[in-house]
Amino acid sequence: MALQKAQKAKKDADDLAYIDPVKAEEHRQKGNELFKEAKYPLAIKEYDEGLRRDPKSVAIYSNRCATYIKLMEFNTALKDADKCIEIDPKFVKAYSRKATCHHFMKEYHKALKAYDDGLKIEPGNKECIEGKNKTMTTI
């Protein structure tokens, strides 16, 4: 029992020592470059490493969400969007990406709700307005 506690304490200490927001930002930048080159699986690997370095980074979760959307892995993208909202409920782009996932999954009522939630925070957000109009047109 004592050995298990010691192993867990060591693992927790190692995880804490691994956290480095500066290196996480470097991985995010590399991931963004790969995203622009349409190398989505490689971008996800960079974003994953960035999240290991900084598990509270809203930007990395948001970027990984966009990458999963490009790969049409909407359930996984939705988890990242929800995580963004959990970390920062005022981050409007997360609501837009969440709504995009719901739209592509043909859950239009959920997409409209997510767009509305984003518009409550930022009423003039272009992405939310255009996305909501697109969803209404689809319906």
Sorting pLDDT into bands at 50, 70 and 90, what band is 114?
very high
With a CB cutoff of 8 Å and minimum separation 6, the contacts of 62 are 80, 81, 84, 91, 93, 94, 97
Sorting pLDDT into bands at 50, 70 and 90, what band is 126?
very high
Could you report the per-residue pLDDT of 80-97, keeping only the tens digit for each?
Answer: 999 999 999 999 999 999
* Mean of all residue pLDDT scores within the chain: 93
The residue ranking higher by pLDDT, 20 or 39, is 39
pLDDT at residue number 13: 80
Distance between CA atoms of residues 97 and 31, nearest Å:
18
Q: Is the pLDDT of residue 18 over 80?
A: no
pLDDT at residue number 96: 96
Distance between CA atoms of residues 95 and 58, nearest Å:
12
> What's CA 129's distance to the chain center, in Å?
20
Q: What's the average model confidence in pLDDT over 24-45?
A: 95
Q: What's the average model confidence in pLDDT over 103-113?
A: 96
pTM for this prediction: 0.86
Flag the least confident range among 18-22, 34-38, 52-56. 18-22
